[in-house]
Protein backbone atom coordinates (compact mmCIF):
# COMPACT_ATOMS: atom_id res chain seq x y z
CA UNK A 1 0.00 0.00 0.00
CA UNK A 2 1.64 3.23 -1.14
CA UNK A 3 1.67 6.63 0.47
CA UNK A 4 -0.41 8.99 -1.68
CA UNK A 5 2.33 11.46 -2.43
CA UNK A 6 5.77 10.11 -1.53
CA UNK A 7 7.84 13.00 -0.28
CA UNK A 8 11.56 13.55 -0.57
CA UNK A 9 13.44 15.90 1.77
CA UNK A 10 13.21 18.62 -0.90
CA UNK A 11 9.46 18.04 -1.33
CA UNK A 12 9.11 18.49 2.39
CA UNK A 13 11.02 21.78 2.30
CA UNK A 14 8.79 23.02 -0.53
CA UNK A 15 5.78 21.62 1.30
CA UNK A 16 6.68 23.44 4.49
CA UNK A 17 6.96 26.71 2.54
CA UNK A 18 3.61 26.14 0.83
CA UNK A 19 2.08 25.27 4.17
CA UNK A 20 3.48 28.43 5.75
CA UNK A 21 2.05 30.65 2.99
CA UNK A 22 -1.33 28.94 3.15
CA UNK A 23 -1.35 29.20 6.92
CA UNK A 24 -0.97 32.98 6.67
CA UNK A 25 -3.46 33.24 3.79
CA UNK A 26 -6.13 31.16 5.49
CA UNK A 27 -6.56 33.79 8.20
CA UNK A 28 -8.82 35.53 5.69
CA UNK A 29 -7.46 38.88 4.56
CA UNK A 30 -5.89 39.14 1.08
CA UNK A 31 -2.10 39.30 1.36
CA UNK A 32 0.69 40.82 -0.69
CA UNK A 33 4.07 39.31 -1.51
CA UNK A 34 5.65 41.70 0.98
CA UNK A 35 3.22 40.64 3.76
CA UNK A 36 4.08 37.00 3.10
CA UNK A 37 7.83 37.65 2.87
CA UNK A 38 7.72 39.40 6.24
CA UNK A 39 5.57 36.71 7.86
CA UNK A 40 7.84 33.89 6.65
CA UNK A 41 11.17 35.69 6.92
CA UNK A 42 12.12 34.96 3.29
CA UNK A 43 12.65 37.16 0.23
CA UNK A 44 9.75 38.36 -1.99
CA UNK A 45 11.41 36.40 -4.83
CA UNK A 46 11.05 33.19 -2.86
CA UNK A 47 7.40 34.06 -2.18
CA UNK A 48 6.83 34.51 -5.93
CA UNK A 49 7.95 30.93 -6.55
CA UNK A 50 5.76 29.57 -3.79
CA UNK A 51 2.76 31.58 -4.99
CA UNK A 52 3.27 30.43 -8.58
CA UNK A 53 3.24 26.81 -7.38
CA UNK A 54 0.11 27.30 -5.28
CA UNK A 55 -1.73 29.24 -8.01
CA UNK A 56 -0.94 26.55 -10.54
CA UNK A 57 -2.57 24.06 -8.18
CA UNK A 58 -5.59 26.35 -7.77
CA UNK A 59 -5.07 26.81 -4.03
CA UNK A 60 -4.28 30.55 -4.24
CA UNK A 61 -5.61 33.19 -6.63
CA UNK A 62 -5.12 36.86 -7.38
CA UNK A 63 -7.31 39.25 -5.37
CA UNK A 64 -6.85 42.54 -7.22
CA UNK A 65 -4.39 45.23 -6.30
CA UNK A 66 -4.16 48.24 -4.05
CA UNK A 67 -2.32 51.51 -4.44
CA UNK A 68 -0.29 52.30 -1.36
CA UNK A 69 1.92 55.28 -2.04
CA UNK A 70 3.91 56.03 -5.19
CA UNK A 71 5.12 53.32 -7.57
CA UNK A 72 3.52 50.19 -8.88
CA UNK A 73 0.25 49.05 -7.28
CA UNK A 74 0.57 46.11 -4.89
CA UNK A 75 -0.92 42.83 -6.11
CA UNK A 76 -2.94 40.92 -3.55
CA UNK A 77 -3.51 37.19 -3.24
CA UNK A 78 -6.06 35.10 -1.42
CA UNK A 79 -6.55 31.46 -0.59
CA UNK A 80 -9.22 29.57 -2.55
CA UNK A 81 -11.18 27.76 0.20
CA UNK A 82 -13.33 25.76 -2.21
CA UNK A 83 -10.36 24.34 -4.12
CA UNK A 84 -9.92 21.40 -1.77
CA UNK A 85 -12.00 19.62 0.82
CA UNK A 86 -11.57 16.76 3.25
CA UNK A 87 -13.92 14.59 5.26
CA UNK A 88 -13.34 14.35 8.99
CA UNK A 89 -14.97 11.68 11.11
CA UNK A 90 -15.11 11.45 14.88
CA UNK A 91 -15.95 8.05 16.28
CA UNK A 92 -16.93 7.46 19.89
CA UNK A 93 -18.34 4.30 21.48
CA UNK A 94 -21.87 5.45 20.73
CA UNK A 95 -21.76 8.21 18.12
CA UNK A 96 -20.28 9.10 14.76
CA UNK A 97 -19.87 12.73 13.87
CA UNK A 98 -18.78 13.78 10.40
CA UNK A 99 -17.80 17.05 8.75
CA UNK A 100 -16.63 18.32 5.42
CA UNK A 101 -13.98 21.03 5.77
CA UNK A 102 -12.64 23.30 3.04
CA UNK A 103 -9.00 24.20 2.45
CA UNK A 104 -9.09 26.72 5.30
CA UNK A 105 -10.41 24.16 7.75
CA UNK A 106 -13.87 25.76 7.86
CA UNK A 107 -16.77 23.36 8.22
CA UNK A 108 -18.94 23.20 5.10
CA UNK A 109 -21.33 20.60 6.45
CA UNK A 110 -21.72 18.34 9.46
CA UNK A 111 -23.89 15.48 10.58
CA UNK A 112 -24.06 13.15 13.54
CA UNK A 113 -25.59 9.74 14.04
CA UNK A 114 -25.93 7.37 16.96
CA UNK A 115 -24.38 3.96 16.54
CA UNK A 116 -24.86 0.72 18.45
CA UNK A 117 -22.64 0.43 21.51
CA UNK A 118 -19.45 -1.50 20.64
CA UNK A 119 -20.56 -2.46 17.14
CA UNK A 120 -18.68 -5.46 15.74
CA UNK A 121 -15.98 -4.39 13.26
CA UNK A 122 -17.85 -5.32 10.03
CA UNK A 123 -20.86 -3.23 11.12
CA UNK A 124 -18.62 -0.41 12.27
CA UNK A 125 -16.95 -0.39 8.88
CA UNK A 126 -20.33 -0.16 7.16
CA UNK A 127 -21.33 2.75 9.40
CA UNK A 128 -18.10 4.64 8.69
CA UNK A 129 -18.25 3.97 4.96
CA UNK A 130 -21.88 5.08 4.64
CA UNK A 131 -21.18 8.33 6.51
CA UNK A 132 -18.07 9.05 4.38
CA UNK A 133 -19.94 8.37 1.13
CA UNK A 134 -22.74 10.75 2.11
CA UNK A 135 -20.28 13.49 3.02
CA UNK A 136 -18.32 12.92 -0.19
CA UNK A 137 -21.27 14.41 -2.11
CA UNK A 138 -21.13 17.66 -0.12
CA UNK A 139 -19.09 20.74 -1.05
CA UNK A 140 -16.88 21.52 -4.00
CA UNK A 141 -13.23 21.13 -4.90
CA UNK A 142 -10.98 18.11 -4.97
CA UNK A 143 -11.81 15.65 -2.22
CA UNK A 144 -8.51 14.73 -0.60
CA UNK A 145 -9.60 11.89 1.62
CA UNK A 146 -11.02 10.91 4.97
CA UNK A 147 -9.54 11.48 8.41
CA UNK A 148 -10.87 9.44 11.31
CA UNK A 149 -10.27 10.39 14.93
CA UNK A 150 -11.13 7.86 17.62
CA UNK A 151 -10.31 7.07 21.24
CA UNK A 152 -6.89 5.47 21.66
CA UNK A 153 -4.62 3.79 21.81
CA UNK A 154 -4.24 4.16 18.07
CA UNK A 155 -1.22 3.29 15.93
CA UNK A 156 -1.07 6.45 13.80
CA UNK A 157 1.58 5.26 11.34
CA UNK A 158 0.11 1.77 10.93
CA UNK A 159 -3.53 2.89 10.87
CA UNK A 160 -4.50 0.29 13.47
CA UNK A 161 -6.76 0.65 16.48
CA UNK A 162 -4.77 -0.92 19.32
CA UNK A 163 -7.59 -1.02 21.83
CA UNK A 164 -7.76 -1.67 25.52
CA UNK A 165 -7.34 -4.86 27.53
CA UNK A 166 -11.02 -4.76 28.52
CA UNK A 167 -13.32 -6.74 26.18
CA UNK A 168 -13.02 -4.63 23.06
CA UNK A 169 -14.41 -5.78 19.70
CA UNK A 170 -12.31 -3.21 17.83
CA UNK A 171 -8.96 -4.26 19.33
CA UNK A 172 -6.32 -4.78 16.66
CA UNK A 173 -8.65 -3.73 13.83
CA UNK A 174 -6.79 -2.45 10.76
CA UNK A 175 -9.33 0.30 10.35
CA UNK A 176 -7.38 2.43 7.91
CA UNK A 177 -6.69 -0.42 5.49
CA UNK A 178 -10.32 -1.57 5.62
CA UNK A 179 -11.60 1.96 4.95
CA UNK A 180 -9.16 2.52 2.09
CA UNK A 181 -10.35 -0.73 0.48
CA UNK A 182 -14.02 0.10 0.99
CA UNK A 183 -13.87 3.77 -0.07
CA UNK A 184 -11.03 3.67 -2.61
CA UNK A 185 -9.75 6.99 -1.31
CA UNK A 186 -6.94 8.10 0.99
CA UNK A 187 -7.58 7.60 4.71
CA UNK A 188 -5.82 8.70 7.86
CA UNK A 189 -6.45 7.29 11.35
CA UNK A 190 -5.50 9.15 14.50
CA UNK A 191 -6.04 9.34 18.20
CA UNK A 192 -8.97 11.68 18.94
CA UNK A 193 -6.99 14.07 21.13
CA UNK A 194 -4.20 14.32 18.53
CA UNK A 195 -6.71 15.16 15.80
CA UNK A 196 -8.26 17.71 18.16
CA UNK A 197 -5.01 19.61 18.72
CA UNK A 198 -4.34 19.76 14.97
CA UNK A 199 -7.79 21.33 14.44
CA UNK A 200 -7.20 23.73 17.30
CA UNK A 201 -3.80 24.86 15.99
CA UNK A 202 -5.50 25.67 12.69
CA UNK A 203 -7.99 27.97 14.39
CA UNK A 204 -5.44 29.53 16.75
CA UNK A 205 -2.32 29.86 14.61
CA UNK A 206 0.89 30.63 16.53
CA UNK A 207 -0.88 30.62 19.90
CA UNK A 208 -0.45 26.94 20.65
CA UNK A 209 3.30 26.50 20.33
CA UNK A 210 3.46 25.13 23.85
CA UNK A 211 0.05 23.82 24.70
CA UNK A 212 -1.81 20.85 26.09
CA UNK A 213 -5.23 19.90 24.82
CA UNK A 214 -7.17 17.93 27.39
CA UNK A 215 -10.03 15.97 25.93
CA UNK A 216 -12.81 14.41 27.96
CA UNK A 217 -15.13 12.26 25.90
CA UNK A 218 -15.72 8.59 26.81
CA UNK A 219 -12.23 8.59 28.26
CA UNK A 220 -9.75 11.22 29.29
CA UNK A 221 -6.74 12.02 27.16
CA UNK A 222 -4.40 14.79 26.21
CA UNK A 223 -2.24 15.86 23.34
CA UNK A 224 0.75 18.13 23.42
CA UNK A 225 2.26 20.78 21.22
CA UNK A 226 5.82 21.44 22.38
CA UNK A 227 8.01 24.11 20.77
CA UNK A 228 5.61 24.18 17.83
CA UNK A 229 5.56 20.45 17.13
CA UNK A 230 2.79 18.02 17.95
CA UNK A 231 4.20 15.25 20.11
CA UNK A 232 3.44 11.63 19.22
CA UNK A 233 6.06 9.61 21.07
CA UNK A 234 7.74 6.25 20.39
CA UNK A 235 4.48 4.29 20.02
CA UNK A 236 2.24 7.27 19.15
CA UNK A 237 0.82 7.00 22.68
CA UNK A 238 2.09 10.32 24.07
CA UNK A 239 -0.46 12.13 26.20
CA UNK A 240 -2.31 9.21 27.79
CA UNK A 241 -2.87 11.22 30.95
CA UNK A 242 -6.10 9.33 31.59
CA UNK A 243 -3.99 6.39 32.70
CA UNK A 244 -1.73 8.24 35.09
CA UNK A 245 -2.52 7.28 38.66
CA UNK A 246 -4.06 9.98 40.84
CA UNK A 247 -5.20 7.76 43.73
CA UNK A 248 -3.31 4.71 44.99
CA UNK A 249 -5.69 1.71 45.25
CA UNK A 250 -8.44 3.81 43.73
CA UNK A 251 -11.17 2.82 41.28
CA UNK A 252 -10.35 -0.08 38.92
CA UNK A 253 -9.54 1.06 35.38
CA UNK A 254 -10.09 -0.67 32.03
CA UNK A 255 -6.31 -0.74 31.59
CA UNK A 256 -5.98 -3.14 34.53
CA UNK A 257 -4.55 -0.69 37.06
CA UNK A 258 -6.29 1.17 39.85
CA UNK A 259 -6.75 4.85 40.54
CA UNK A 260 -6.13 6.06 36.98
CA UNK A 261 -7.35 9.62 36.39
CA UNK A 262 -9.88 8.37 33.85
CA UNK A 263 -11.35 5.78 36.23
CA UNK A 264 -11.46 8.25 39.14
CA UNK A 265 -13.06 10.90 36.96
CA UNK A 266 -15.73 8.49 35.72
CA UNK A 267 -16.38 7.19 39.24
CA UNK A 268 -16.90 10.74 40.54
CA UNK A 269 -19.24 11.66 37.72
CA UNK A 270 -21.04 8.36 38.16
CA UNK A 271 -22.01 9.28 41.71
CA UNK A 272 -22.97 12.78 40.62
CA UNK A 273 -19.98 14.46 42.26
CA UNK A 274 -18.99 16.92 39.52
CA UNK A 275 -16.83 18.88 41.97
CA UNK A 276 -14.68 15.81 42.67
CA UNK A 277 -14.43 14.99 38.95
CA UNK A 278 -13.30 18.57 38.33
CA UNK A 279 -10.59 18.10 40.99
CA UNK A 280 -9.30 15.00 39.19
CA UNK A 281 -9.14 16.97 35.96
CA UNK A 282 -7.41 19.89 37.69
CA UNK A 283 -4.83 17.51 39.17
CA UNK A 284 -3.78 16.11 35.82
CA UNK A 285 -3.74 19.54 34.19
CA UNK A 286 -1.37 20.85 36.86
CA UNK A 287 0.75 17.69 36.47
CA UNK A 288 0.93 18.30 32.73
CA UNK A 289 1.94 21.91 33.22
CA UNK A 290 4.64 20.74 35.64
CA UNK A 291 5.87 17.99 33.36
CA UNK A 292 6.07 19.70 29.99
CA UNK A 293 5.84 23.45 30.72
CA UNK A 294 2.98 24.62 28.52
CA UNK A 295 1.47 28.11 28.60
CA UNK A 296 -1.94 27.18 27.23
CA UNK A 297 -4.36 24.47 28.18
CA UNK A 298 -7.29 23.90 25.84
CA UNK A 299 -10.23 21.88 27.12
CA UNK A 300 -12.53 20.01 24.81
CA UNK A 301 -14.97 17.14 24.61
CA UNK A 302 -18.63 16.64 25.37
CA UNK A 303 -18.09 15.85 29.07
CA UNK A 304 -16.14 19.07 29.59
CA UNK A 305 -18.72 21.14 27.72
CA UNK A 306 -21.50 19.73 29.91
CA UNK A 307 -19.77 20.97 33.09
CA UNK A 308 -17.42 23.63 31.76
CA UNK A 309 -17.86 26.21 34.51
CA UNK A 310 -16.94 23.79 37.29
CA UNK A 311 -14.13 22.21 35.29
CA UNK A 312 -12.57 25.54 34.28
CA UNK A 313 -12.98 26.90 37.81
CA UNK A 314 -11.29 23.91 39.44
CA UNK A 315 -8.40 23.99 36.97
CA UNK A 316 -7.81 27.72 37.38
CA UNK A 317 -7.81 27.40 41.19
CA UNK A 318 -5.43 24.42 41.08
CA UNK A 319 -3.04 26.29 38.80
CA UNK A 320 -3.20 29.41 40.93
CA UNK A 321 -2.44 27.47 44.11
CA UNK A 322 0.12 25.15 42.50
CA UNK A 323 2.08 27.91 40.78
CA UNK A 324 1.87 30.52 43.56
CA UNK A 325 5.63 30.49 44.16
CA UNK A 326 6.36 31.00 40.48
CA UNK A 327 4.56 34.19 39.43
CA UNK A 328 6.48 34.19 36.15
CA UNK A 329 4.69 30.99 35.05
CA UNK A 330 1.51 32.04 33.29
CA UNK A 331 -0.88 29.43 31.98
CA UNK A 332 -4.04 30.33 30.12
CA UNK A 333 -6.95 27.88 30.31
CA UNK A 334 -9.56 28.00 27.56
CA UNK A 335 -12.32 26.01 25.95
CA UNK A 336 -11.83 24.71 22.42
CA UNK A 337 -12.88 27.16 19.71
CA UNK A 338 -14.35 24.28 17.71
CA UNK A 339 -17.00 22.99 20.10
CA UNK A 340 -18.39 19.54 19.41
CA UNK A 341 -16.87 19.47 15.91
CA UNK A 342 -13.37 19.59 17.42
CA UNK A 343 -12.22 16.07 16.62
CA UNK A 344 -14.00 15.68 13.28
CA UNK A 345 -12.59 19.01 12.05
CA UNK A 346 -9.14 18.16 13.35
CA UNK A 347 -9.22 14.85 11.46
CA UNK A 348 -10.15 16.72 8.28
CA UNK A 349 -7.36 19.26 8.91
CA UNK A 350 -4.86 16.40 9.22
CA UNK A 351 -5.88 15.24 5.74
CA UNK A 352 -5.57 18.83 4.44
CA UNK A 353 -2.09 19.13 5.96
CA UNK A 354 -0.97 16.34 3.66
CA UNK A 355 -2.00 18.48 0.70
CA UNK A 356 0.06 21.28 2.21
CA UNK A 357 3.06 18.95 1.94
CA UNK A 358 3.32 18.33 5.65
CA UNK A 359 4.15 14.76 6.65
CA UNK A 360 1.09 12.85 7.85
CA UNK A 361 0.00 9.21 7.80
CA UNK A 362 -2.52 9.62 4.99
CA UNK A 363 -2.50 6.42 2.95
CA UNK A 364 -4.32 5.84 -0.32
CA UNK A 365 -5.38 2.90 -2.46
CA UNK A 366 -2.59 1.16 -4.39
**For binding to Zn ion (CB under 5 A), which residues are involved?**
243, 253, 255, 257, 260
Task: Work out how close the CB of 44 gets to Zn ion at its nearest, in angstroms, rounded to a whole number.
Answer: 54
Decide: 58 and 103 in contact? Cβ < 8 Å. no
Is residue 253 reached through a cis peptide bond, with omega within 30 degrees of 0 on the bond before it?
Answer: no
Instruction: Name the helix (H) or strand (E) containing 265.
Output: helix 261-270
The dihedral through the CA atoms of 308, 302, 105, 162 has a sign that is: positive
Min CB(255)–Zn ion separation in Å: 3
- Please identify, using beta-carbon distances, which residue of 58 and 163 lies nearer to Zn ion: 163
C-beta of 260: minimal distance to Zn ion in Å? 3
Calpha distance 142→21 (Å, rounded): 20
CB proximity list for 265: less than 8 A, separation 6 or greater: 216, 220, 242, 277, 280, 281
CB of 308 to Zn ion, least distance (A): 24
Closest separation in Å from C-beta 247 to Zn ion: 12
The least distance separating Zn ion from the CB of residue 215, rounded to whole angstroms, comes to 16
CB of 135 vs Zn ion, minimal distance in Å: 34
Cα 259 to chain center, whole Å?
Answer: 28
Q: Which of 363, 344, 365 is nearest to 158 (CA)?
A: 363
Nearer to Zn ion, 27 or 257 (CB): 257
- Choice between 17 and 191, CB closer to Zn ion: 191
Choice between 148 and 216, CB closer to Zn ion: 216
Beta strands in the chain (DSSP E): 31-32, 60-66, 74-79, 84-91, 95-102, 107-114, 142-150, 154-155, 160-161, 187-191, 211-216, 220-226, 229-230, 296-300, 332-335
Give me the phi and psi of 4, to 5 degrees please.
-55, -55
Closer residue to Zn ion (CB): 208 or 266: 266
What CA–CA distances, in Å, run from 359 to 15, 104, 118, 194, 229?
9, 18, 32, 15, 12
Whose Cβ is closer to Zn ion: residue 213's or residue 253's?
253
Total count of residues recorded for the chain: 366
Identity of the residue, 243 or 307, whose beta carbon is nearer to Zn ion in the bound complex: 243
Amino acid sequence: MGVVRPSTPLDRVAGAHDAAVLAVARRGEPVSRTDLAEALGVTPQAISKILARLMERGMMAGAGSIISGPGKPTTLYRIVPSSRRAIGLHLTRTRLRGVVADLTGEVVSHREIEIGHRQPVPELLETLTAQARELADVGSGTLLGVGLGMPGPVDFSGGVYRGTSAPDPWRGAEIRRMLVDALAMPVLLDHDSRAAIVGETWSQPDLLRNAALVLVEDGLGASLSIDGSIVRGAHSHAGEVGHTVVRMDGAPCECGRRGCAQAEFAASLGRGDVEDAAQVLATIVLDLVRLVDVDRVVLGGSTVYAHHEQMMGAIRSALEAGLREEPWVHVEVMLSTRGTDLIAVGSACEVLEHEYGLPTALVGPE
